[in-house]
Amino acid sequence: MIIKKIKLENYTVFKDQQIEFCPGINIFIGENGTGKTHVLKVLYSACQSVSKKTSFSQKLVSTMLPDNYKISRLITRKVGNRNGLIRVTAGELGDTRDRVLTASFNGKTKRWGAEVVGEDGWEQSFAGVSSIFIPAKEILSHSYNLNAASEMENVQFDDTYLDIINAAKVDISAGRNSDSKKAMLKAVERMTHGTVVYDAKRDEFYLKSGNSKQEFNLVAEGIRKMALLWQLVKNGTLEKGSVLFWDEPEANINPIYIPIVVELLLELQRKGVQIFVSTHDYMFASYFEVKKAQGDRVLYHSLSHKDAADEIVYEKSEKFADLKNNPIIAAFDKLLNEM
């Protein structure tokens, strides 16, 4: 499955925007409030709806969590805006027969009852495709009974947190690890100094080093995030044809490990995993250009506010420095001028 493009009309901060993606790594930059995470969550919801058990419109609501689970609250808050539309186009490499998934809704739409078109064909074409969303905040240390508590409405977490816990618990891999998988696992282990163990009886994750294991909540958050990546690679979630969404991978990561994270993502892309990330970090965004090899596909997407207006301006480039609206570089230039 390759997500090719998305169209958003009157959806959250987007008035009318179309974004086209590359089959490799798509990197979103932009100030807070420009919709980076919203785009990732819409695409993730579309990927999750390849299952007959999952409705696209309900997954949108479960990942965004509007008040009273009303999808109508995701319509752009402007006078006269009463209709919202989402259109996601996907296909396979070398195949021109794309599938289109559309959700339309208005101010009177009840709960998540959007009008969805193309869901049957979407399910038929992409059944079995694996997708995962890694939130900016680590969550495995809070895994104990979280899903049950959420179902009882004792706590409220959006589905990206609940789904990542379930994905980390399940081992869908079979047979011996390939050489490339072994190399990726070893690279992560250099950062975590251990491997991940899930105790099903206690419903807890541990970091194992030698003969000892440590509770996840006692491990630094940056290491926990890398341990989660190790677990997803190990258990077969991130295989060819899967889609990875990662919100701010650099958060709480020691800067010396950022090149390793970039190399891991590039290697996953070479294995056929399509990747979407958002970032505010100069080093993280820049290292893709430093580390990428011939044949690697990397595309930068910039979202920004148009002057003082609420309208979002979009641009894309294969080179980080070529983006005209680049708040990361602007912030560094400002720092240099003040030194």
| DSSP calls for 233-246 | HHTTSS-TT-EEEE
Mean pLDDT of the 109-131 span: 91
Residue 81 has a pLDDT of: 66
Read off the pLDDT band of 71 (50, 70, 90). Answer: very high
CB contact at 8 A, 208 and 194: yes
Give per-residue pLDDT as tens, 203-228. Answer: 888 899 888 889 888 888 888 888 88
Asked whether the predicted pLDDT for residue 174 surpasses 60, the reply is no
Average pLDDT score, the chain: 88
Written as one letter, the residue type at 58 is: Q
Catalogue the E-assigned strands of the chain: 2-11, 14-20, 25-30, 83-91, 99-106, 115-117, 131-134, 195-199, 204-209, 212-215, 243-247, 274-278, 298-305, 312-317
Whether residue 293 has pLDDT greater than 60: yes
From its phi and psi, is residue 123 left (phi > 0), alpha (psi between -120 and 50) or beta?
alpha
Task: Name the pairing type of β-strands 243-247 and 274-278.
Answer: parallel
Res. 150 pLDDT band, cuts 50 70 90: low
For residue 145, the model assigns a pLDDT of 64
Q: Is 23 a residue whose pLDDT tops 70?
A: yes
For residue 43, what pLDDT band results from cuts at 50, 70 and 90?
A: very high
Mean pLDDT of 9-20: 94
> Given this model, what pLDDT does residue 292 score?
94
pLDDT of residue 173: 61
pLDDT band, residue 295 (cuts 50/70/90) = very high
Lowest mean pLDDT among 18-22, 96-100, 144-148: 144-148
Contacts of 206 (CB under 8 A, 6+ apart): 196, 197, 198, 199, 213, 214, 215, 216
Strands 14-20 and 2-11: what pairing? antiparallel
Mean pLDDT, to the nearest integer, of 101-124? Answer: 92
CA–CA distance, 189 with 300 (Å, rounded to integer): 29
- 123 versus 79: the higher-pLDDT residue is 123
> What whole-number distance in Å separates Cα of residue 56 and Cα of residue 68?
17
**Residue of 221, 225, 277, 275 lying closest to 246 (CA atoms):** 277
